[in-house]
Amino acid sequence: MSDRNIVYIGNKPIMNYCLAVLSSLQGDGSTVHLKARGRAISSAVDVAEVTRNRFLKDLSVDSIEIGTEELENQEGQKRNVSTITITMKKG
């Protein structure tokens, strides 16, 4: 899995990430991974659905992985943050 085929989802508008997915698929890869943590998980699902329904009809969700990461905040306390990785495949 190369960094070129990974789109990290944050708090930018959904269409910015859709364009990132499309440009990632324009290259040699036919697979793209959407990664998000915390509140950005719902945005990752939106990006997957908008890209699949509006732009690339032959794009399908290959797998969805969920998990938890332990992060340390500024005060040194540890907290758990949910993560998701959506793998989408063209063709």
Tens digit of each residue's pLDDT (9 = 90 or more) over 49-81:
999 999 999 999 999 999 999 999 899 999 999
For 53, which DSSP code? I
Tokens at 39, concatenated: 């509140």
Give the chain's domain count: 1
CATH number at residue 72: 3.30.110.20
Look up the domain containing 40 and give its range. 3-90
Q: What is the pLDDT of residue 63?
A: 97
Distance (Å, whole) CA 1 – CA 32: 9
1 pLDDT above the threshold of 70 = no
Query: Residues 54, 57, 58, 63: is their CA dihedral positive or negative?
Result: positive
User: What predicted TM-score, i.e. pTM, was given to this entire model?
Assistant: 0.91
